[in-house]
Structure 1
Amino acid sequence: MSLRARSKSAAWLRCLALACASGGFVPAAGAMDLLQAWQAAVINDAQLRAARAAAASNRERLPQAQAQLRPQVNLSLQRSRNDLNSESAGPLGRPVQDQLVYTSAADSLTVRQPIYRPQLRAQVRVARALVENGEAVLQQEEQRLAMRVTQAYFEALLAEEQLRLVGVQQAATTAQLEAARKGFAGGSGTRTDIEEAQARLDLNFAQELEARQAVEFTRRQLAQIVGQPVAQLAPVDAERLPLAMPQPALLEDWLARARTASPELRAAAANVEAARQAVERARANHLPTLDALAQVVRSDSDNPTRVDTRYTQKAIGLQLNVPIYQGGLVDSQVRQALADVERSESVLEATRLDLEARVFREFRGVGEGIARIRALEQAVRSAEQLVRSSRRSQQGGSRSVLDVLNAEQQLGSAQRDLAQARFAYLLSLVRLRALAGEWQDASLAQVNGWLRP
């Protein structure tokens, strides 16, 4: 392929990249920062709305269980139109038929107050544990949303940074291509230098296309979470980014915080408590129950032998129910409840071990991230010095265009790795705080303060 055709191909790739990156995306007015993204996601996210509705539904378990311990009042009203046909033996044994049409009524007001119902009291404790589980699950979903927003935000920033670095490399390669052409025209260069620079420039255009597609994809991911288009994002300010271990600086302290405040553990522990109270509720089905009962009954012609007769009956007393045999139902329910306790305790232990492993991984990620960032900062400085030296050597004739291009590529790789290391460090720090139950608006605002307006 000729140089002119290759240049046209590269220009076509660049136009295609611009079209792919801009197609169908509506820019927003002004840059969005992390705090604004979180506030928008809290309103828009469907998963969080579902978790809030589930928590509201769980809260109603407690008043429903408590209501069964309060007086139950029932009113019954009955009106009937009766058509009674009767036949009896008359004089001389002849049957006598009679027909009576009348209206009857029966009204009753009943008040029942549970006095001794151990299964109902156990049900209240079960409901209270389930409400606690629902609140912990809601908090867990809020933290998951915060993590999803943070990760999507930083992925979008990383894609933008990679696109910027590709542009820097592209500009440097273009300058080298022009220098190689001038050198060749002046008799001091070779066609190989031009070919090397042109091949590297073509590769840059392909990388630009890929980087622009990554920018569009990551922005759309963030836009789906926040519920609005994302055009610009506030970038990370390297000068504000603190490279220090979070306080406290000991892993055991973070593990202790996670065991105490993690919503995952609180949700699992609430399930264990609910299962244990369900065992008590099942066992209580063996016990007798005692209720206080008060009733007022008023009847009118409720008996065909007493038509046009009205009665008012008032009664108050106690009702005792003693279960004797239910076919083994209660024993089976107890065994089932005990199995649920064992299952929930195993889930709690598995959750605790998994949580500790994640805390260890993120705590280690913070420490290793600091070391990696500092090492890559030094690598970037060294790569910049190498680029400057290679350019001076090229001008002196001791280095070729390829040497300069390789040095610039090494610089771009170091800068890309540094950007990835900074975002990985930030994500590890955010995840560590979330696992310890410390992810709140104040923590989000602190991370947001590390961005450049």
Structure 2
Amino acid sequence: MNFKRNFAGIVSATLMAMSSPAGAESLGDALASAYKHSGLLKQNQAVLRAADEDVAIALSGLRPTIDYSLSHSWRDVDGAGPAVDTRVNSASLTASMLLYNFGRTQLGIQASKEVVMATRDTLVGIEQTILLRAVRAFLDVRSTNENAALQANSVRVLAQELRAAQDRFEVGEVTQTDVAIARARLASARANQVTAQGELEIAREEYRAAVGHLPKSFPNTPGLPKTANSLAAAKSVARDRHPDIQAAQHRVNAADLGVEVAKKAMLPSLVGSAQTSFTDTIGDSTGGSFNNQIGVTLRGEFYAGGRRSAEYRKSIAQAEQARAALDLARITVDQNVADAWSKMSIAAARLEASERQIRASRVALRGAREEATLGSRTTLDVLNAEQELLNAEASRITSQSDRFLAAYSLLAAMGLLTAEHLKLGVASYDVDAYYNAVRNAPVRQVSPQGEKLDAIISILGKN
């Protein structure tokens, strides 16, 4: 048996697995596809548009409302049925507008804007989750493919080892025990090969779910992203940029405004109104009459069963809840940054140790094979040496994947795992387009702004 040829086969197969064929999909391609095809991202973009509309709804409180009513009535006198002069047609047009409520409506508008900003940051967090899932799927496909190739080559080598053991047994160099050991190792390797192929298929399906399609070819090895020079620097960036912290801060602002709104809800409001009405009694020769009215109304509550006070206390509790959530977000972000930093350092150290282990295992395998030809090593010794090399190669695959995943996890923990920061070359969702179209509460099919909004909604529907 040519031991050098077998050893070269292991190295060759591993290198082939780590290289990628021409036209292989890059990590950037996978991330861009994940961004464009994510249903979760589209769902939360719709959530943001709904929050944008809340600003328009709050703003409408400062504008006049115009109501109309049309009615026809009749009276039945003494069961004789409706007489002509008891039939009445009436129409009225009423306009009312808030004149003053101690700034309560303006505060509600500001609170709605803070909610919009929080929802925008939440959308960025969803984007990071989607892209990190795509990174994980990409790395899993690459590592499971490499591991499947490694296990397949191990089966080929062990099959040769079994044939060699059988040949040596026939000439009396080894015992039946050596043949049985080689056969058992081959059976184990075949089981591992089946497992590796199954894990590859699972990884491919996860890739399709995360990216939007099956890998066109096995992804190539990406480059490590630039993160931070130190843990302190990474935490500093995360505290300033992470969307979870920013969203929580906007929710605190909205909750504080909510306290003021609830407090001012106990105060009265001044409303102006104007009304014109027309009443026509059928059969009346006067031809109907108009009635016009204009005035102001001061509205307030002396007692509402304690509802307003309860709403005020509730708003204070919600503000306290929002501040606690902000503190928790800061703690969680700091922890995630530290965890990702540690995992990246651990993976780098493990990768370096795996490289040293591989070099040493190759030397040990060569020595075991040469000594086996001289009769000073058994078949079991050779198989153990081969297993050591296989384990080292598998450990390197895992460490490489862990290192890349930790680096991208650190980017996510810093709040930088976005299409814009990664420069994926995709058209990012414009959070201002819809907001600017609706923030002034345009009326659809009436105003020019409404026509523009219809066009935007049509484009969003097609996308």
Report the TM-score when normalising by structure 2: 0.79
> Which of 98, 104, 116 in structure 2 is aligned with 1:119?
104
Find the residue that maps to 2:304 and give its secondary structure.
coil
Q: Which residue of 2 aligns with 1:53?
A: 46
8 Å CA contact retained: 1:153, 1:222 = yes
Question: Residue 192 of structure 1: CA displacement?
Answer: 2.6
Q: Give the Cα separation in 2 of the matches to 1:58 and 1:201.
A: 61
> Which of 107, 119, 127 in structure 1 is aligned with 2:91?
107
- Structure 2 residue ranges without an equivalent (≥5): 1-21, 425-463
- Structure 1 residue ranges without an equivalent (≥5): 1-28, 88-97, 447-453
**Residue 71 (1) aligns with residue 61 (2):** no
**Residue 387 (1) aligns with residue 365 (2):** yes
The 3 A distance-change label for structure 1 pair 299 and 391 is same
8 Å CA contact retained: 1:86, 1:99 = no
Q: Which residue of 2 aligns with 1:321?
A: 299
Q: Bigger CA drift: 78-87 or 274-283?
A: 78-87
The 3 A distance-change label for structure 1 pair 307 and 79 is farther
Question: Residue 201 of structure 1: CA displacement?
Answer: 0.8
Q: Give the Cα separation in 1 of the matches to 2:319 and 2:253.
A: 8
One-letter amino acid of the structure 1 residue matched with residue 268 of structure 2: P
Q: Which residue of 2 aligns with 1:156?
A: 141
Find the residue that maps to 2:140 and give its secondary structure.
helix
Question: Residue 307 of structure 1: CA displacement?
Answer: 6.7
Query: Residue by residue, what CA displacement relative to the aligned partner does 1:174-223 show, whole Å, maximum 9, x if unpaired?
Result: 22222222222333333332222111111111111111111112212222
> Which of 338, 348, 354 in structure 1 is aligned with 2:332?
354
Q: Give the Cα separation in 2 of the matches to 1:64 and 1:161.
A: 56
Q: Which residue of 1 aligns with 2:279?
A: 299
Question: Residue 298 of structure 1: CA displacement?
Answer: 2.8
Q: Give the Cα separation in 2 of the matches to 1:254 and 1:222.
A: 29
> Which of 422, 431, 436 in structure 1 is aligned with 2:400?
422
Q: Which residue of 1 aligns with 2:12?
A: none
Q: Give the Cα separation in 2 of the matches to 1:348 and 1:377.
A: 43
Q: Which residue of 2 aligns with 1:287?
A: 267
> Which of 125, 130, 133 in structure 2 is aligned with 1:140?
125
The 3 A distance-change label for structure 1 pair 100 and 218 is closer
Question: Residue 285 of structure 1: CA displacement?
Answer: 1.3
> Which of 177, 181, 184 in structure 2 is aligned with 1:196?
181
> Which of 151, 154, 173 in structure 2 is aligned with 1:166?
151
Q: Which residue of 2 aligns with 1:4?
A: none
Q: Which residue of 1 aligns with 2:430?
A: none
> Which of 267, 270, 281 in structure 1 is aligned with 2:250?
270
The 3 A distance-change label for structure 1 pair 423 and 196 is same
Q: Give the Cα separation in 2 of the matches to 1:349 and 1:202.
A: 55
Q: Bigger CA drift: 360-369 or 307-316?
A: 307-316
One-letter amino acid of the structure 2 residue matched with residue 260 of structure 1: D
Q: Which residue of 2 aligns with 1:94?
A: none
8 Å CA contact retained: 1:70, 1:114 = yes
Q: Give the Cα separation in 1 of the matches to 2:74 and 2:124.
A: 60
One-letter amino acid of the structure 2 residue matched with residue 288 of structure 1: P
Query: Residue by residue, what CA displacement relative to the aligned partner does 1:325-360 show, whole Å, maximum 9, x if unpaired?
Result: 222111111011111111121122112111111110
Q: Give the Cα separation in 1 of the matches to 2:414 and 2:211.
A: 25
The 3 A distance-change label for structure 1 pair 443 and 272 is closer
> Which of 239, 260, 270 in structure 1 is aligned with 2:240?
260
Q: Give the Cα separation in 2 of the matches to 1:443 and 1:294.
A: 55
Query: Residue by residue, what CA displacement relative to the aligned partner does 1:288-317 show, whole Å, maximum 9, x if unpaired?
Result: 111222222333349x9x873533333333
Question: Residue 426 of structure 1: CA displacement?
Answer: 0.6
How many correspondences in the alignment?
401
8 Å CA contact retained: 1:84, 1:101 = no
Find the residue that maps to 1:438 and give its secondary structure.
coil
**Residue 219 (1) aligns with residue 199 (2):** no
Question: Residue 432 of structure 1: CA displacement?
Answer: 0.8
8 Å CA contact retained: 1:83, 1:101 = no
One-letter amino acid of the structure 2 residue matched with residue 273 of structure 1: N
Q: Which residue of 2 aligns with 1:377?
A: 355
Question: Residue 362 of structure 1: CA displacement?
Answer: 0.4
Higher strand share: 1
Q: Give the Cα separation in 1 of the matches to 2:370 and 2:181.
A: 19
Find the residue that maps to 1:376 and give its secondary structure.
helix
One-letter amino acid of the structure 2 residue matched with residue 163 of structure 1: A
Query: Residue by residue, what CA displacement relative to the aligned partner does 1:372-403 show, whole Å, maximum 9, x if unpaired?
Result: 21221111111111112222222233222221
Q: Bigger CA drift: 261-270 or 292-301?
A: 292-301
One-letter amino acid of the structure 2 residue matched with residue 343 of structure 1: Q
Query: Residue by residue, what CA displacement relative to the aligned partner does 1:109-135 show, whole Å, maximum 9, x if unpaired?
Result: 222221213332222122112212221
Q: Give the Cα separation in 2 of the matches to 1:311 and 1:279.
A: 49
**Residue 38 (1) aligns with residue 31 (2):** yes
> Which of 309, 320, 324 in structure 2 is aligned with 1:342?
320
Q: Give the Cα separation in 2 of the matches to 1:99 and 1:152.
A: 81
The 3 A distance-change label for structure 1 pair 390 and 86 is closer
Q: Which residue of 1 aligns with 2:429?
A: none
Find the residue that maps to 1:187 and give its secondary structure.
coil
